[in-house]
A = this chain, B = another copy of it.
């Protein structure tokens, strides 16, 4: 089996880089991490030690120049993604890149063009597609189990706002947070959105106002088939990570609940209660991070298309831009207004 192992280089040893490195090292025998690099050399060293990565590269170029490396994982900050994709593509590497590729469409288009020109594979890190709940929902829609989907509601709320330093460079709630849900909407419904109406406000953390950002956002999605979808984002759900979806179809309804740390119910003197749901994405989506990488590795090894493609990387950004425009202009906005 060793002959078929995918040789991988990792760029970025931060939080998400660590998640992916551990998946590759401990769960995915069909991949082998050859080298890792980070502008913070100590972080790269520590992760290499933990995951048995034989080499800490001094630079990104060192990784891109290593002919033995077939694929790279781009786990750096968002503003570097597009440029690194271009460089990696030119170096002939297959690419797994964290979402989003960029906050501006021009940059995304350049990156996608480079990928196409190089003929390499690209997968973007929309990990939620690989959560067992959303996979089951998607399967129900795709198989016709609930008939034609007509109304879809996504709830996606964080337990607490991120630091304002993060908010400042995040691109705003639509491009930073709701981007995952835009992808989920297209994926679950299996069709495209034509128009978006956005609402929102600063309802839970006044500091967002100074950043011209929102802590609460809500959009109505008009799908091409006439189906209606919604996404409900809040930066603060005191009980923990709130990640649910439900779809009403012509033959039934499907709904996914949050995931909890256990299945235990206590009946006390004042209430019947359970522990809180899993607190944040690291706990909730653990398995999805592994599965997305497994499918990436498999797609590259077998020369097949990855499960999250170029348009999958681009369309959610178009949707985010339309949503923000809708919010600013207080009217429904067609996606063709953003990108024809």
Name A's B-contacting residues (CB within 8 A).
1, 25-27, 29, 49-50, 132-133, 135-137, 140, 145-148, 150-151, 153, 157, 197, 199-204, 216, 218, 220, 222, 226-228, 230, 232, 234, 236-240, 242, 248, 250-277, 330-332
Contact = CB atoms under 8 A, between A and B. Distances in A.
Contacts of A135: 262
Given A150-B216, A151-B234, A253 B269 contact: no
A228 B218 contact: yes
B248 A234 contact: yes
B276 A272 contact: yes
Contact of A269 (B200, B226, B232, B252): B252
B276 A271 contact: yes
A11 to B, nearest CB: 23
Contacts of A273: 271-274
A201 B218 contact: no
A154 B259 CA distance: 23
B220 A203 contact: no
A314 B59 CA distance: 58
Given A136-B275, A199-B220, A268 B238 contact: yes
B197 A264 contact: no
A204 B199 CA distance: 27
A330 to B, nearest CB: 6
A230 B155 CA distance: 13
Contact of A274 (B148, B248, B271): B271
Given A228-B216, A251-B238, A331-B332, A266 B146 contact: yes
A250 B236 contact: yes
Nearest to A28: B26
Q: Which of A50, A132, A260 has the most CB of B within 10 A?
A: A132
A151 B216 contact: yes
Q: Which of A27, A135, A248, A275 has the most CB of B within 10 A?
A: A248
B150 A204 contact: yes
B26 A50 contact: no
A213 to B, nearest CB: 15
A238 B222 contact: no
A147 B262 CA distance: 21
B269 A272 contact: no
B252 A268 contact: yes
A294 to B, nearest CB: 13
A228 B255 contact: no
Contacts of A50: 29
A10 B146 CA distance: 44
Q: Which of A135, A237, A256, A262 has the most CB of B within 10 A?
A: A262
A252 B50 CA distance: 39
